[in-house]
Amino acid sequence: MKVFHRAQDLQRYLSNLRTNNRSVGFVPTMGALHQGHLSLVELSRLKNQVTVVSIFVNPTQFNDAADLEKYPRTPGKDIELLDTVGCEVVFLPTVEEVYPNGLDQKIQALDFGQLEKVMEGAMRPGHFAGVAHVVERLLDLTRPDRLYMGQKDYQQVAIIRSMIAQREIDVKLVVGPTVREVDGLAMSSRNVRLNENLRDRAAELSRVLSDAKSAILAGGLPPEVAARSSDLLAALPGFKVEYFEVFDGDSLQPVSEAKAESIVIALAVWVGDVRLIDNVIVR
């Protein structure tokens, strides 16, 4: 496995591969890798001769300095894990490599319209501009055939799909399913920050999501199901609900009818001092 720290070295290595017609799959990450990330590497390896994983805790997508500081960083362990799944290339850049002109360099703005006015976009101002900026930069450096992202960040995927379309980038976006712990908790780099007691109870998030899905499939009205589910979670000690939304999977706008063509349910909940997100596709 090759590990690169400098953009130039990565680009040189990949351009040699491309002249030999090797297809490249790319998995962008912020490290603290778990089975969810590794499943994306495995998906990529099924279709591409070379899989590149980037590990970069991107400062521009954190609107809370404390969250950026607390974000787990485990590069040594990450590299070992990537080796076990046969990843060929790891890119571990410094902030200067990714942002050579400084963190607040101006780029031509993207317009995500309503996609970024709801849920994560509403709660974390500037978050998606930072995510889109870094993914655009990483795509420019790696020029992959396929980009792999996880369904767990449903809204992030919608934003990246829109960025790819707006910038007319020639890459296929592949979305991998959410990987869960045995009790249903969606895998996340943030889970390691839950104490034992909260870790056990955090499985309530996926339980409530899956009950909400069943209720809607049984004809329950989305706004009522959302309100009931949100109340259930809010009543749990140490839990604080930021949002619990039932929405159209493309526009991300709320749906009111159980019969709607496309329905996704997503939540963001503070469990103790750890903010977790999860979602489930109803149809």
The active-site residue out of 34, 37, 127, 133 is: 37
280, two tokens: 């489930």
DSSP assignments along 49-105, one per residue? SEEEEEE---GGG-S-HHHHHHS---HHHHHHHHHHTT--EEE---HHHH-TT-TT-
Closest distance to ligand PAF from the beta carbon of 276 (Å): 14
DSSP-based three-state secondary structure for 49 = coil
Site stretch for ligand PAF (CB under 6 A), options 97-105, 127-135, 163-171, 209-217: 127-135
In this structure, the strands spanning 24-29 and 50-55 are parallel
Largest Cα–Cα separation, the chain: 58
Is 82 a binder of ligand PAF (CB under 6 A)? no
**HSE value, Cβ hemisphere, 13 Å, CA-based, for 54:** 30
Q: Is 37 marked active-site?
A: yes
Please, which of residues 206-245 interact with ligand PAF by CB under 6 A?
A: none
Among 28, 93, 121, 272, interactor with ligand PAF by CB under 6 A: 28
Q: Which residue, 13 or 71, has its beta carbon nearer to ligand PAF?
A: 71
Stretch that binds ligand PAF, among 22-30, 91-99, 196-204, 271-279 (CB under 6 A): 22-30
Inter-helix orientation angle 75-84/35-47, to 10°: 40
Compose the 140-179 pattern: x for residues touching ligand PAF by CB under 6 A, - for all others: -------------x--x-----------------------
Which residue, 134 or 141, is less far from ligand PAF as judged by CB?
A: 134
Contact 130, 58 (CB under 8 A): yes
Residue 194 corresponds to which amino acid? L
The residues of the shown chain that bind ligand PAF, judged by CB under 6 A, are: 28-30, 58, 61, 131, 134-135, 153, 156
